Structure 1
Amino acid sequence: MAFHACPRETEVAAAPAGTAAVAVDHPLVCAINHDKDRERDGRTTVVVMQPFAYEQPSTGRWIWVPAGYVTDFASIPRVGRWLIPPFGRHAIAAVVHDWLYSVGEPGQRDAADDIFNEALTELGVDPARRGVMHAAVRGFGAGGYERAEALWGRSFMDWRTGDWLDPPAGRDAFFGDGDPAIIERIRNQAPANCDFRL
């Protein structure tokens, strides 16, 4: 029986020629949730299996996403999935954007959408697709952002059991750059939630 654990190193993700490298602290590692009852509006969800952070290049701000966070990557309506699939080159940007919408910091929705657009650019998403994705969140994302407080208690899950987990802190602990003590605790989460045996 071989033992495996999620990788923990800071890395710079490879990007297409002509684009900047994407800085992440711990790689994005997810488990697919196969439970139909845990879908979001007919979209499959995944659970982030270890803490993950993205560095916004224009500000140097690190955005930390805790282990156990539930995302559906890009929230593409069924009718548009032929053009833009939920998962692809844009995955890191989509998870960070989902996280910022889950936190729902008052008055920061436009900033969250701008971070999404910046990350899409950095990841090398072609301009036409990036424009459609950015316009979609600007035009149709208000409802999701406004539901942050109501949905916060159902934003974390144990990837093994499908049980809902308590959030690591209140939403306001993640406003701005976040409460330093909470961010440090998340950053140093042991990868035990990712351990599995083959």
Structure 2
Amino acid sequence: MTTGEPGWDPGPDPFPQDDIRRIADFEYLDELKFLRHAKVHVRKTPESLWQLAADFRVAMTVHLKDGGSRRLTIKAPRGLFTDLASVPQALWAFAGPIGRHLEASVVHDYLYMAWTDFRDTGHPSLGRNRHFADAMFLAGMTVSKVAMRCPMYLAVRTVGGFVFRRKPYSLKQRMEDWLPLLDDGHGRSG
């Protein structure tokens, strides 16, 4: 669903329309490119200095519960702000915001924000979309050989629902706030 209004377009729905059984053949298609803002600090969730400087795509085969499968590509868009991996500082001794899980974390952040552009909070597919986002996170960490992937996956399955359901904004609203920060020199003078 896209609007006819000018501004950022969320593009195609990144979520499978059916229940998934598993994800296979996961691959990263692009290099992850960030800008770290020197003076601009976004005070809206996610509070961050990090912004994607280019689109970041992943591809996978999604095997559906009905027996079918299809190839799916997801694009975290240029301009997206991220807090990298949303790991509380008290746990950084085990897994910090940067590590082998970084790429999967950024796409997971995107999916946790993107569902707001395609679903109402009461939509019956809300749980299915969150399950897919979390399964994609695990598949990405598996490909990246993250040692702590099972505890990290269990953490997002345990507490991620609160974050997933409670966003008072859409990604479209945020991207329209965030893209000008990327395009105006990202807070650097001179």
Q: Is the 8 A contact 2:108 2:137 kept in 1?
A: yes
Classify the secondary structure of the residue corresponding to 2:98: coil
User: Residues 98, 146 of structure 1: CA spacing in aligned structure 2 closer, same or farther, 3 A cutoff?
Assistant: same
Q: Is the 8 A contact 1:101 1:148 kept in 2?
A: no
Post-superposition offset of 1:46: 1.0
Post-superposition offset of 1:28: 1.4
Selected match of 2:105 from 76, 94, 104 = 94
Cα distance in structure 2, aligned partners of 1:150 and 1:42: 11
TM-score, scaled to structure 2: 0.64
Aligned partner of 2:94 in structure 1 is: 83
TM-score, scaled to structure 1: 0.62
Cα distance in structure 2, aligned partners of 1:47 and 1:93: 15
Q: Please provide the CA RMSD for this pair.
A: 2.8
Aligned partner of 2:141 in structure 1 is: 120
Aligned partner of 1:132 in structure 2 is: 151
Q: Is the 8 A contact 2:84 2:105 kept in 1?
A: yes
Does residue 154 in structure 1 map to residue 158 in structure 2? no
Post-superposition offset of 1:43: 6.2
Classify the secondary structure of the residue corresponding to 1:150: coil
* Contiguous gaps of at least 5 residues in structure 1: 1-19, 164-198
Q: What whole-Å deviation, never above 9, does each CA across 1:91-144 have from its counterpart, x for those lacking one?
A: 110011000000125331011101101110011111xx1011101101111122
Per mean C-alpha deviation after superposition, the further-off stretch among 142-151 and 65-74 is: 142-151
Figure out how many residues of one structure are paired with residues of the other and give that number. 142
Cα distance in structure 2, aligned partners of 1:61 and 1:84: 28
Post-superposition offset of 1:23: 2.8
Identity of aligned residues (%): 26
> What amino acid is the match of 2:143?
E
Classify the secondary structure of the residue corresponding to 2:169: helix
Post-superposition offset of 1:33: 2.7
